[in-house]
Structure 1
Amino acid sequence: MDTRLILVEGCPGSGKSSTAQFLGRQLQRAGHSCRWYYEEERPHPLAALKGIDRSKGYREFGTAALIRWRDFVRRARRSKEITIVESHFFQNLITPLLRANVKPERIGKVVHKMAEFVTPLRPMMVYLHQPDYATTMRRILDERGARIEHYIRLSENSAYGKRHGLEGFDGLVQSWVDTRTLMEQLIEDLEFPSLSIDNSAGNWSAYLEQIGEFLSTPFQPGPALSADALTAYAGTYTYRSNTAPRRAAGTTRFGRMNVNRRVGGLPRSVALHHQKEVEFTISVKQGELVLRDYGWLWPTNRLIPIDKDIFDIRSWPFQLHFEREAGEIVAATRQSETTRWQITGQRYPRLAGMTDT
């Protein structure tokens, strides 16, 4: 593989995070050193809004984005690591600028300059899209619950939303359709390789095979577990306030350890959950483990096996590590291999087994 930068783009709900996570695992299995930057993790080297005075609106936003991409490329050129970045080349740049009524031509100039900056990394882009975006948004509404109301308010209250009379769910869909149109116009102008995939049918095995061919990287399947093996993890788990949270030291982007660094701006003593006790369940559904009602994650999250008793939480930069005693699962611990965005190391005792499938 020749590239050192893989960009994964598309509108919300397109599958960017799960695709980026999958790519990271596959590159690791192929022997590559790589780092996936989850869209919302903090600190993020490409989060352009950081440090900008909101009272000035978005006049500084494009400049801040260019500075961050320039600095990011300077650091990345000194490393042999492959970086996977989702959302920050298109979505998280175009969306706030378009909402602020910045002309598409001006947005295009910023993107083209960013493309110049990343050229030394020989970038490649995977772009995921759905022609019927309203259907995608309805699925997001079902999966992500009340959080969608936040995005509706952002759309309605933006300068762009007020100018175009965008209201409610339909207005939110239209704002993203307009964003998608600009993304697709810009893709045609990019001088580095890109792959556009309409993933409306949900045939992810075929899509991932396409991506593997595009990246010239043969994908290797992860561990396959039988229904009986999966059932061993099913049950109700709890987080108790007297289980002291701790932070994994983690590894920085270039491999240096820093155990003293604060996580997401939170001191060591702040627990992940503010409730005194939180329960969540893990069950088997259609041959997969499903995590439900875990704190601030989506209401339903798939678990993907990556090693013995270790599962990725699909589309999140976290893993669940399960503990056994006398062969039985007794607890799970949330860990992260890369990010310090949230406190990790919480231990979740297993309260009861569950056989529902």
Structure 2
Amino acid sequence: MVCSLPPGGPEDPVRHRLVIVEGIMGSGKSTTMRFIAKSLQEANRRALPIHERTDPHPVRATDELEHWFQPWLDATPEHLAQRSVARWAAFVETMQAGDVVPVMDGQLFHGDLTHVFLMEADASTIERYMQTLATAIAPLNPLVVYFRQEDVEEAIRLVCAERGDEWVAYQVNWKLAAPYSVRRKFAGLEGLIDLYRDYRRMTDQLFERLPFDKLMIENSGRDWPTYHRRVLKALGLPARV
């Protein structure tokens, strides 16, 4: 586990006005998002769990595109990144006016950044996007929880086995039709694994550069009680019995 918190940070349960749970598909983002929201509520904090499938979604930039599933047909990576930052900035302004703590299922990496990556944005475009987005959300003093699995291939094969052939076909037909995958001739499950190796390499680097509180947990062991205790500690919340 890697934890980056300032001295004296975790004691105050109100210091983080935004929590984002990140990781590749099947990492446990949605489950942990719900756990965090419930824990905040039990600590008398108003929490707003926001699942990745929320529709309409408050920050997702592809929602209003004609081909939201294939944004490369409607927009450039730069345009999509600008839309994303604008949506986030408006959301942050709204949240600053109240006392609700939104708990996001992805959307820093897993979401619009995934599409910007699939659209084959260059490294400088992605870096500028993340820097601008980090500045936009900084007023909420976010905590980013990043679930990571050392063996990407094992993690992808596991989630594919759990979710079944229909879900695998959905992922392959979507993500391997994107410009990034087509140029590299990624195909089938092996191509999906190769894609996520590249994606995870990118998100590892971006996570390291985030300028606010962050917690990385290697969760291949699936020891969820231990992982959740670490999350609660980072949030300054009491451990749940």
TM-score band (shorter)?
0.7 to 0.9
CA contact (8 A) 1:122 1:192 kept: yes
Return the structure number with greater relative CO, CA threshold 8 A, min gap 6.
2
CA contact (8 A) 2:60 2:112 kept: no
**1:53 Cα deviation after fit:** 4.4
* Partner in structure 2 of residue 45 of structure 1: 58
CA contact (8 A) 1:155 1:166 kept: no
Question: Does 2:214 correspond to 1:181?
Answer: no
Return the letter of the residue paired with 1:219: A
The share of aligned pairs that are identical, in percent, is 27
Post-superposition CA distance 1:92-124 (Å, at most 9, x none) = 122111111111220121111111011111111
Question: Does 2:106 correspond to 1:78?
Answer: no
* Partner in structure 2 of residue 126 of structure 1: 145
Question: Does 2:210 correspond to 1:218?
Answer: no
* Partner in structure 2 of residue 151 of structure 1: 171
Structure holding more strand per residue: 1
Question: Does 2:88 correspond to 1:69?
Answer: yes
**1:216 Cα deviation after fit:** 1.2
Question: Does 2:3 correspond to 1:3?
Answer: no
Structure 2 segments unaligned to the other structure (5+ residues): 1-12, 68-72
- Aligned equivalent of 2:224, options 182, 198, 204: 204
CA contact (8 A) 1:6 1:124 kept: yes
Root-mean-square deviation (Å) = 1.3
Rounded to whole Å, the distance in 2 between the matches of 1:49 and 1:188 is 26
Question: Does 2:69 correspond to 1:56?
Answer: no
Structure holding more helix per residue: 2
* Partner in structure 2 of residue 244 of structure 1: none
Return 140-149 or 46-55, whichever deviates more. 46-55
CA contact (8 A) 1:35 1:84 kept: yes
**1:219 Cα deviation after fit:** 2.7
Give the 3-state SS of the residue equivalent to 1:57 in structure 2. Answer: coil
CA contact (8 A) 1:98 1:104 kept: no
* Partner in structure 2 of residue 194 of structure 1: 214
Q: TM-score, normalised by structure 1?
A: 0.60
CA contact (8 A) 2:21 2:144 kept: yes
Rounded to whole Å, the distance in 1 between the matches of 2:20 and 2:195 is 22
* Partner in structure 1 of residue 9 of structure 2: none
* Partner in structure 2 of residue 162 of structure 1: 182
* Partner in structure 2 of residue 101 of structure 1: 120
> Which of the two has higher C-alpha Rg?
1
**1:81 Cα deviation after fit:** 0.9
Give the 3-state SS of the residue equivalent to 1:63 in structure 2. Answer: helix
Q: TM-score, normalised by structure 2?
A: 0.88
Rounded to whole Å, the distance in 2 between the matches of 1:47 and 1:177 is 24
Pairwise mapping of residues 270-285 of structure 1 onto structure 2 (< 5 A)?
A: none
- Count of residues in correspondence between the two structures: 221
Rounded to whole Å, the distance in 2 between the matches of 1:94 and 1:67 is 14
Post-superposition CA distance 1:136-155 (Å, at most 9, x none) = 22221222111121111123
Post-superposition CA distance 1:275-330 (Å, at most 9, x none) = xxxxxxxxxxxxxxxxxxxxxxxxxxxxxxxxxxxxxxxxxxxxxxxxxxxxxxxx
Rounded to whole Å, the distance in 1 between the matches of 2:88 and 2:148 is 24
